[in-house]
Amino acid sequence: MQKTIAIVGAGFCGTVLAANLLRRPPPVAATVVLIERASEMGRGVAYAAREFPYLLNVPAARLSADSRDPLQFLSFARRFIPDADAEDFLPRQLYGDYLQEFLALAEQAAPMRVKLLRLSAEARHVTRGSTDAPSGTAPKLFRVQFDDLPPLEADRVVLATGNPPPPLLPWAAAVRDHAAYRSDPWDLPEALSAEHSVLIVGNGLTMADAVFAMTRQAAGAPRMHTISRRGLLSLPQTAFHAAAMRGDGEELLGRAHSVRQVFAMTRALAREVEQRGGDWREVITFIRQLAPTLWARLPAAEQRRFVRHLQAHWDVHRHRLPPQLAALIDSLRRDGRLSVNAGRIESVTAVGQRLRVTWRPRGSASATLLTVDWLVNATGPDYVLQRSADPLMNSLRAAGLISEDAQQLGLRTADHGVCVDAQGRTADGLYYLGPMLRAAHWEATAATELRNRAELLAAHLIDSCTVPA
């Protein structure tokens, strides 16, 4: 009996999942439908082809889309950059090229009974399928609906929609249509010079990308300011030994019942590693591997405490900068071209073609004025489902097929990423794969973590195709 698996989104997660379904196919006839609203599949926002060569923030040797071949991406890269090293931070567009080939090779190797259908369209709704079916066939569980295409009937649906856009912050409402405001950090102004000034809201990896791009302007880098609540900058990557710390973390897991305990043990481990001549990044990698279990064991109150007080500090240690970007930021700060600030924006008003920002520095009772030529929102993805502007997510939430977690970190999911509905039941046959898995696992954003989850989900979906839908 023909099975249909619909994957909504053809960025990293959707592409790797589809490739795994083709490489380890189900024993029955099946069609894998890969649905993507962008012009290209296998890239997503992160690895899109752009005029500016944005860099990956993970070394080439740690980015294979196949767990069985850890250096696969590095081997691919060396076909175009022969002297590429395992610790090099390569262009993101090259990684998109790699993902496209990864999928194409899987499609070529798939048996005749398994087909890949690429569908360039935007999925607007996913609803429960009809109970009616032709004689001798089982009804499909779901119906994927589009604006200008017939609906697609599917036995399984996987939501792999990638990172949501940044939030529309309260102060941005008044200037959201102003020419000087950029809600998309990848849509940067082109006519910049050393005479211009830019405010970037956010101090994370997206800010660093924006700074990197704006320094490459032919007319010179503008004067740049950043603002985030704490003013913390992502720390640099190093060529540390990722597998230096060994063990299953049993002692740490057994003793970690609060955020305070986890924090204290992490600092103690880092001190011990550095005293032996190691790198604290080894400890962060070790903790990342334990994070899903640690997170699940923490009571809700402790999870809230972590999000409120420690998440920002974890993020700057966990989501690190390529060394060349870190060096650039240090240089710009020393030269006075980049000012990094901690504080909160109170309002933004238009002053002709420019924007006047009223903001309050952290710890200050008085506000400060800053007038800039451009303002860029680089605050990162908004995972709060209630604020989503995605029609598909909104329709699923309105229908009660998905629900957000108590900490508003993402989607509630159960085993294999199956969605949990508004009544707390598993929405059998509807899955999620992507960064909003952090609600259940916390660490669910890195390529390696998502690759592993894609492989596990593919195996589960293949097994599920052997039983009636």
The domain that contains 349 carries what CATH number?
3.50.50.60
Distances (CA, A) of 424 to 380, 419, 461: 29, 9, 22
Q: Residue 257: which pLDDT band, with cuts at 50, 70 and 90?
A: confident
DSSP letters of 13-48?
HHHHHHHHHHHS--SS-EEEEEEESSSSSS-TTTT-
Residue for token digits 């240090």? 330
Considering the domain architecture, whether residues 27 and 50 belong to the same structural domain is answered as yes
Q: Could you tell me if residue 243 is inside a domain?
A: no
Region 129-156 average pLDDT: 79
* pLDDT in the model for residue 245: 75
Q: Residue 469: which pLDDT band, with cuts at 50, 70 and 90?
A: very low
Residue for token digits 């899955």? 431
Q: Could you tell me if residue 313 is inside a domain?
A: no
Q: Which of 48-52, 92-96, 248-252, 269-273 has the highest mean pLDDT?
A: 92-96
Its pTM stands at 0.92
Residue-wise pLDDT tens digits, 362-379:
999 999 999 999 999 999
Q: Residue 248: which pLDDT band, with cuts at 50, 70 and 90?
A: low
* pLDDT in the model for residue 253: 67
Considering the domain architecture, whether residues 129 and 69 belong to the same structural domain is answered as yes
Considering the domain architecture, whether residues 362 and 403 belong to the same structural domain is answered as no
Q: Could you tell me if residue 310 is inside a domain?
A: no
Q: Could you tell me if residue 309 is inside a domain?
A: no
DSSP letters of 426-446?
EEEEEEE-SGGGHHHHS---S
Residue-wise pLDDT tens digits, 433-468:
999 999 999 888 889 999 999 999 999 999 887 654
Q: Are 7 and 32 in contact (CB under 8 A)?
A: yes
- Give the separation between CA 347 and CA 336, rounded to whole angstroms: 25
- Give the separation between CA 146 and CA 170, rounded to whole angstroms: 32
Q: Which of 200-209, 211-220, 261-270, 440-449 has the highest mean pLDDT?
A: 200-209
Region 94-119 average pLDDT: 96
In 194-242, beta strands by DSSP E: 197-201, 223-228
Considering the domain architecture, whether residues 219 and 266 belong to the same structural domain is answered as no
Q: Please say if the pLDDT value at position 39 is more than 90.
A: no
Considering the domain architecture, whether residues 217 and 74 belong to the same structural domain is answered as no
Considering the domain architecture, whether residues 278 and 400 belong to the same structural domain is answered as no
Q: Residue 404: which pLDDT band, with cuts at 50, 70 and 90?
A: very high
Considering the domain architecture, whether residues 180 and 156 belong to the same structural domain is answered as no
Region 278-295 average pLDDT: 89
Considering the domain architecture, whether residues 158 and 188 belong to the same structural domain is answered as no
Q: Could you tell me if residue 458 is inside a domain?
A: yes
Considering the domain architecture, whether residues 53 and 159 belong to the same structural domain is answered as yes
Considering the domain architecture, whether residues 199 and 340 belong to the same structural domain is answered as yes
Considering the domain architecture, whether residues 138 and 103 belong to the same structural domain is answered as yes
Q: Could you tell me if residue 259 is inside a domain?
A: yes
Size of the chain, expressed as the number of residues it contains: 469
Q: Could you tell me if residue 314 is inside a domain?
A: no
Distances (CA, A) of 408 to 103, 163, 318, 401, 431: 33, 15, 20, 17, 18
Give residue 99's domain range. 3-165+383-464
Q: Please say if the pLDDT value at position 135 is more than 60.
A: no
Number of domains in the chain: 3
Domain boundary pick from 351, 377, 403: 377
- Give the separation between CA 62 and CA 307, rounded to whole angstroms: 28
The two three-digit tokens of residue 90, written as one number = 């390569």
How open is the CA angle 227-229-232, to the nearest 5 degrees? 75
Q: Could you tell me if residue 244 is inside a domain?
A: no
Q: Please say if the pLDDT value at position 283 is more than 70.
A: yes
The more confident residue out of 231 and 140 is 231
Q: Specify the range with the lowest mean pLDDT, choosing from 101-115, 134-148, 195-209, 454-468.
A: 134-148
Considering the domain architecture, whether residues 230 and 269 belong to the same structural domain is answered as no
* pLDDT in the model for residue 141: 87
* pLDDT in the model for residue 63: 95
What end-to-end distance do the CA atoms of the chain give, in Å? 10
- Give the separation between CA 187 and CA 184, rounded to whole angstroms: 5
